[in-house]
Structure 1
Amino acid sequence: TFVRAPGAGPHPAPGRTDAAALEDTLRFREVLEVGAAGLCAAHGLDAAGAVRLREALERTGDAPSEEYRRQDTLFHLTLAELAGSPSLTARYAAVRAEVNGLLDGIPLLVRNLEHSQRQHAALVEAVLDGQADAAREIMREHCAGTAALLRGFLT
């Protein structure tokens, strides 16, 4: 868990953002998430890891809108943890805290959440099937969608 005052770190208060700082955060997030997805698929998950990932996916699907962002964060953090690199996990947690701060400044759109959930499901299947290229591409598209949404609202 990370606690920061609004405006702490590289970004101004929610609703106002510096374009360069936004791009830096979004690109760093993409590198970490695409890498984590690829590592999980390439190295495979043991039975316990597969169960953790599927359960995290189910929790995002069952989450009411006010709980979705937290469950979404836990889903992505689970994937980072399952990649097997504590350094990746720590850096992902930090960048996700920044991304969540940005997401808090825009509305939750049901259509986007539904699309995100379909991407999550496809990602889990690619990871569990050991399809590293597919897992990386799905995650790249997922990050690009969030990035486009944030750019549209915040810049």
Structure 2
Amino acid sequence: MQTILKKINLTIILLIVTVSVCSAQKNKKANNDTEAWRYEIEAVQTGTQGSYLIKVWSYSKKPDVAIEQAKKNAVHGIIFRGFIGSQSVAGQKPLANNGNLEVEKEDFFKSFFANGGKYMKFVSMSHDGAVAAGDRMKVGKEYKVGVVVSVNVSTLRKDLEDAGVIKALGSGFN
């Protein structure tokens, strides 16, 4: 009986280790895909007060990795790129006015955008992260996947201001 329990315990431990290794490899792949910050953002509709509802197009060899990275890409885009508006939704400038901010505050943004990092506090998937049929396409050897997300820009701005990463809106008038 003890031999059977030992075999079961060993099997469970091996299963846990295997799942952990696979998860770590997936996160590494996702980070490699994100390092180039290859994505596109488009306005979807006006969100609730202080938030933007946007579609983020992310690229990866695996569609599930692109979906996973959409949140990170959305927050990065709001901070550093902004987005062009549509007929019904106004475009937005990036929160950062300094084009070198990402390099100047590299230590801050490295931890901010780490897996499970602080960026997660400001973004959520819309429609439970479901991807419409036309929002997943094969482009060469990789996928381009569009995911609609909501970014709480007012809270994000406040957090970046409090951390001294960006200047407060009214600071130019002092």
Alignment TM-score, normalising by the size of structure 1: 0.32
Give the number of the structure whose residues are more often strand, by fraction.
2
Higher relative contact order, chain-length normalized (CA < 8 Å, sep 6+): 1
Q: Between Structure 1 and Structure 2, whose CA radius of gyration is higher?
A: 2
What TM-score do you get using the length of structure 2 for normalisation? 0.29
